[in-house]
Amino acid sequence: MKQPNNDLHEFDRQLVWLGFAKLAPISLFVTIFGAAFGLAATQAGLNETVIVAMSTLVFAGAAQFAALELWGRDVSLAAIAITVFAINARHLLMGATLYPWLQHLTKTKRYGIMLVVSDANWALSMQAFGKRQPGMGLLLGGGLVLWLSWVIGTWIGVLSGGAIHDPKALGLDRVMGCFLLAMVVGGDKSLRLLIIWIVAACASLLAYRYLPENSNVIVGAVAGGIAGTIRTENKHER
């Protein structure tokens, strides 16, 4: 069966710019949180060039903070890598939900866009797809402004000294989570996404109950990703 609205994956400069502009307001909070990371990394003794390079190449706020907590302690590089992977395992689920539209792009475009996917631009793009509107411009343009804001914020934090010691005290660690929840609640309500979320949630809860600490993040994301892939393949076979 041919999928409807196959052109929803298409994007141009105008759509990318619209995505950039739409995520610009939320990027202000990303800049502040990036500054907090730059400050914390500086206080941890990291080289300024290394700090900015980390934000530029990794672009994963929570994972970078977690790695920073382990930095300099008697912890192996493998342990740090596993921790970062566990925190970012949700991207497996994001990739699964985006697959129906990503599959139409070339590999260069597909993986290039995925480099800047984060919670906020993913949620907005899924909301657009749910309304049968193009979402790739939101995904790419929004990702670019969030990435740029994170790098600029990190750079500001490195240069500004000890102005922000505790972002959690200001509630800055909750902004992105609240934004994501609002977007998901208002997004697509398709049976496919419902199944993916149910599978991911059940697997995560079981892992939380029976497996080692923090493994529930990986298990839930992998289970949801597999469910999304299988569900998509089944629809193509009909």
Are 21 and 40 found together in one domain?
yes
34 pLDDT above the threshold of 80 = yes
Half-sphere exposure (Cβ direction) of 34: Cα atoms closer than 13 Å = 28
234 pLDDT above the threshold of 60 = no
Are 124 and 160 found together in one domain?
yes
Q: What residue numbers bound the domain in which 225 lies?
A: 190-238
Report yes or no on 125 lying in a domain: yes
Report yes or no on 158 lying in a domain: yes
Report yes or no on 154 lying in a domain: yes
Are 156 and 217 found together in one domain?
no
The whole-angstrom separation of Cα 71 and Cα 76 is: 9
- Please report the pLDDT score of residue 22 as a whole number: 92
Span 118-146, mean pLDDT? 90
Are 97 and 211 found together in one domain?
no
148 pLDDT above the threshold of 50 = yes
Are 23 and 91 found together in one domain?
yes
pLDDT in tens, 169-227: 656 555 545 544 554 555 556 677 778 778 888 988 998 888 876 567 667 767 777 77
Are 180 and 223 found together in one domain?
no
Report yes or no on 164 lying in a domain: yes
Report yes or no on 1 lying in a domain: no
Residue located via tokens 């998901």: 184
Are 159 and 62 found together in one domain?
yes
- Please report the pLDDT score of residue 89 as a whole number: 78
Are 200 and 96 found together in one domain?
no
Are 197 and 138 found together in one domain?
no
User: How many distinct structural domains can be found in the chain?
Assistant: 2
- Please report the pLDDT score of residue 215 as a whole number: 67
pTM of this prediction? 0.69
Last residue of a domain, one of 173, 188, 203: 188
Q: Tell me what the pLDDT averaged over the chain comes to.
A: 79
Are 172 and 222 found together in one domain?
no
CB-based contacts of 79-84 (< 8 A; 24+ apart in sequence): 83/214, 84/60
Are 108 and 194 found together in one domain?
no
Are 170 and 64 found together in one domain?
yes
